[in-house]
Structure 1
Amino acid sequence: MNRLLLSGSLLQRGAPRFTPAGLPALDLLIQHQSTVEQAGHPRQLSLEMKAQAVGEVTAVLAAMPLGRQARFAGFLASARNGRGWLFHVTEVEPADDAV
């Protein structure tokens, strides 16, 4: 199964565009920070992940203020250039405690 759940904040959002099939699309940058336990020791995590949204979810993301905390769900696929990964966001739920 290829499913990714990530909490973080919307750091950047590209200009709205349309796919060749006419679907709305957005390029995104999501920032995540947390502490996890690894081998019995705490580890600080901080990362920025390139993401893309296509379809109805783009309306929620287009209206979301930058910096807003949310829970993002979707899947990973190879980036278009074949280097690295791209997070395809299919669902977003703004965090209740976000400003």
Structure 2
Amino acid sequence: MNCLEISGEVCHVDPVRYTPAGIPALNLILKHSSEQIEANLKRTINCELSAKIMGNDALIPLKIGDRIKTKGFIGNKSAKSNQLIFHINFIEYL
């Protein structure tokens, strides 16, 4: 199963673009901070995650500093790339 749910702060948003098929696409960077338990030890997590939103959700007016909760999956950045990107298919403002 390939499913990721993560919340964070939008720290970069590209302008909306359109695919050759006319589908809206939005690239962003999501900054996440939390404390997690690993091997019975508290661990502070700080990371930035490249993400992409496709379709009508790409038209949601996101701006830097927005706190959001997201769900989606991890996939390749493109057909010719092995870089991973988070494909968001659910977004909610916090």
Identify whether the pair has TM-score above 0.5, normalized to the shorter chain: yes
Provide the C-alpha distance between the structure 2 equivalents of 1:29 and 1:64, rounded to a whole number of angstroms. Answer: 11
Unaligned runs of 5+ in 1: none
Provide the C-alpha distance between the structure 1 equivalents of 2:38 and 2:62, rounded to a whole number of angstroms. Answer: 33
CA contact (8 A) 2:50 2:85 kept: yes
Provide the C-alpha distance between the structure 2 equivalents of 1:83 and 1:3, rounded to a whole number of angstroms. Answer: 18
Hey, what does 2:13 align to over in structure 1?
A: 13
> Number of residue pairs matched?
93
Residues 52-72 of structure 1 deviation map (CA, whole Å, 9 limit, x = unaligned): 111011122xx1231111101
Of all paired residues, the percent bearing the same amino acid is 29
Unaligned runs of 5+ in 2: none
Hey, what does 1:28 align to over in structure 2?
A: 28
Provide the C-alpha distance between the structure 2 equivalents of 1:84 and 1:64, rounded to a whole number of angstroms. Answer: 24
Give the drift of 1:83: 3.4
Q: What is the Cα-based RMSD across aligned positions, in Å?
A: 1.1
Question: What is the TM-score normalised by the length of structure 2?
Answer: 0.92
